[in-house]
Amino acid sequence: MRTVGVEEELLVVDESGKPRAVAVAALSGIETPDEGAQDGHTDDEVTGAVVGELMLQQLETGTRPCRTLSELSDELATWRRRADEAAGVAGCRAVALATSPVPVVPETTSSPRYRRMAEEFGLTQAEQLVCGCHVHVSVESDEEGVAVLDRIRGWLPVLVALSANSPYWQGLDTGYASFRSQVWRRWPSAGPTEVFGSAETYRGAVHAMVATGTVLDEGMVYFDARLSRSYPTVEVRVADVCPDREVTVMVAALVRGLVSTAAADWRAGTPAPAVSTTMIGLATWRAGRAGLLGDLVDVFTGRPRPAAEVVGALLGHVRPALDAMGDTERVEGVVARLLRDGTAADRQRAVMAETGELSAVVRDLVELTHR
């Protein structure tokens, strides 16, 4: 059984719901990896830790590799609790919000790398107070990993729709279910990739990107899915951070199902689907705009389809892998609930409609994050 792990970026908020630049104080009593919370994190994965992030209003957690979904759920609960305890040192809470509903001025973490990013990327960097969920699934080799990347790319927009949790930006309703996905794509290296065909071609593409001087290093190769630089995993980076832990577990299970299905197809000699990168980009935009309301783009036909049908196609694609790992019932139950009740973005809007207060939206998600 392939292992799966999750990184979550969390906002640190005060009682009013406003993000607070207190990461240094929050991390003061936590043992952090190697070079420390401020300089050691280079946009690669961490495991079993709470560390700093690009902005001082953020913390990042990383689970250990897990084999079962129940184990992963327990790990998520543990590291969310530890992040919340760290935030509590500064009188704040840690919350799974992909963007801040309450207006905020982001403050960049003071490290040489992050200061250089601020200098190079200007407003793009200055506005990156966004929180994603990154899923790591083990692969046996770089060749298998690239074969997986080539075969899962067309399905990743569906994960954006399922995880949507960022309708508000600077106090305004953006009209998007996942505005984080729009902000994130301002980075020059972010987004879907072409089919690589081999690990050698993948490495060549990464090296060529760095050689342009447009990105600082390999850690800034922000593909929707990429090979890890430190662990034998494929890392899928498209999802918003999700306040409901079961939704996070579902997203992780779907990613593991996609990886297992793709690896099996590769071994069977099934070629990667001939889906254009442009079509995947359009589907990702539509997923971020609509969430599960209305139509999504079926990248394999190039036509709009109801969200439930596109999600159903994904479930059908990975069901043999889910069955083999005993994950089907749990995943399908969460998906059915989301299709019935809506995403976290829909929940945020419902709370806002009821209370008229963005601070109430934040408080509701704090409660849900740690339920």
Could you list the beta-strand ranges (E) of 149-232.
168-169, 172-173, 225-227
Quick: pLDDT tens for 292-316.
Answer: 999 999 999 999 999 999 999 999 9
Higher pLDDT, 42 or 153: 153
| pLDDT tier, 349 (very low <50, low <70, confident <90, very high otherwise) | very high
At 104, the amino acid letter reads V
Q: Is the pLDDT of residue 41 over 70?
A: no
pLDDT of res. 158: 98
| pLDDT tier, 326 (very low <50, low <70, confident <90, very high otherwise) | very high
- Give the Cα separation of 78 and 118 in Å (integer): 32
| pLDDT tier, 135 (very low <50, low <70, confident <90, very high otherwise) | very high
Could you list the beta-strand ranges (E) of the chain.
4-13, 49-52, 58-62, 93-95, 132-138, 168-169, 172-173, 225-227, 233-240, 295-298, 303-306
pLDDT of res. 319: 98
CB proximity list for 226: less than 8 A, separation 6 or greater: 149, 234, 235, 237
Please state, rounded to an integer, the average pLDDT across all residues of the chain. 95
pLDDT of res. 32: 53
| pLDDT tier, 177 (very low <50, low <70, confident <90, very high otherwise) | very high
pTM, full prediction? 0.95
Quick: pLDDT tens for 187-225.
Answer: 999 999 999 999 999 999 999 999 999 999 999 999 999
CATH topology for 4-365 is Creatine Kinase; Chain A, domain 2 (3.30.590)
Could you list the beta-strand ranges (E) of 193-232.
225-227
273: DSSP letter: P
pLDDT of res. 48: 73
- Give the Cα separation of 108 and 129 in Å (integer): 9
